């Protein structure tokens, strides 16, 4: 039996396939030039993520004298194992996304070292459903970790273009989470959604913003780096007692980018 092929129909299908391929290549090229990774369906970074978590565990043991513990909350570990850190890193640094060090993300900002993200998330002693405010969305990675831990996250970024970029990424990756972002000066908190069970600050200033103290719920915790960008910075753990009394303790020396804005 002979099979007959309609040449015209074949050429049309072939042409459409070629056009689709060109369109896909153009879109990929534009995303590449923008400096951000493409969304990938198959996660090829599972082993790298596992290695990152292993390094974090070891670093926690090595710094247990600072932390007062030698292992992290399993909920934090699970979040680190799930969140695709490579999605939050510009394409040009993607090969190093899971290295235990900060990476540049543009606009003079960085995505924090995974170890620092881990211990800050852990020290807040969060529970699912806790309402958390974040000063400095940055890449969005810290917010993603908190969302993966089951928290209600309210994150604010002062650099508008960075805020737009991270908001779009978080919406794509976590469309059903209780995660809200906005552009604005986070020094003043987000009074509309206060009070917060916890506050996390991902940039260093020379003092603790008073509005954040006010918006912290009694019984709540805040983790914040304090100090000058050119000298020593300390990671502080702030606790607000039921009667409103504030206590703090130095956790460890750190280095963060400075809080942006005139305060």
DSSP 153: E
Judge whether 185 and 172 are in contact, CB under 8 Å: no
| Residue 24 is a catalytic residue | no
262 to each of 108, 153, 179, 188, 213, how far by Cα in Å? 17, 25, 27, 12, 19
List CB contacts of 17: < 8 A, sequence separation 6 or more.
none
User: Residue 103: left (phi > 0), alpha (psi -120 to 50), or beta?
Assistant: beta
**Length of the chain as a residue count:** 263
Angle 141-148/74-82 helices, nearest 10 degrees? Answer: 120
Residue (of 207, 138, 147, 135) closest to 171 by Cα position: 147
Catalytic one among 64, 112, 121, 166? 112
Q: Give the DSSP per-residue string, 76-134.
A: HHHHHHHS-GGGGS-GGGGGGTTSSS-EEEETTEEEPPHHHHHHHHHHTT--TT-EEEE
Please provide residue 77's backbone torsions phi and psi, each rounded to the nearest 5 degrees: -60, -45
Q: Which residues are catalytic?
A: 112
């Amino acid at each position: 039996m002979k099979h007959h092929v309609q040449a015209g129909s074949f050429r049309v299908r072939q042409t459409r396939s070629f056009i689709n391929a060109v369109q896909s290549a153009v879109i990929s090229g534009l995303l590449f030039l923008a400096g951000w990774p493409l969304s990938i369906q198959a996660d090829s970074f599972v082993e790298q993520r596992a290695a990152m978590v292993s390094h974090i565990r070891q670093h926690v043991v090595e710094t247990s004298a600072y932390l007062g513990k030698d292992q992290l909350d399993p909920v934090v570990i699970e979040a680190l194992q799930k969140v695709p850190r490579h999605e939050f890193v510009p394409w040009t640094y993607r090969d190093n996304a899971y290295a235990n060090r900060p990476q540049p993300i543009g606009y003079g900002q960085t995505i924090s070292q995974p170890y620092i993200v881990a211990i800050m998330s852990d020290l807040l002693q969060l529970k699912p459903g806790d309402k958390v405010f974040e000063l400095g969305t940055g890449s969005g990675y810290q917010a993603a970790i908190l969302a993966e831990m089951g928290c209600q996250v309210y994150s604010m970024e002062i650099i508008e273009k960075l805020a737009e970029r991270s908001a779009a990424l978080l919406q794509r990756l976590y469309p059903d989470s209780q995660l809200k972002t906005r552009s604005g000066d986070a020094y003043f908190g987000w009074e509309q959604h206060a009070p917060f069970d916890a506050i996390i600050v991902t940039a260093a200033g020379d003092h603790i913003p008073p509005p954040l103290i006010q918006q912290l719920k009694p019984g709540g915790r805040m983790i914040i780096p304090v100090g000058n960008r050119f000298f020593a910075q300390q990671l502080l753990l702030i606790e607000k007692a039921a009667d409103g009394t504030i206590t703090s303790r130095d956790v460890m020396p750190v280095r963060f980018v400075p809080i942006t804005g005139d305060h």
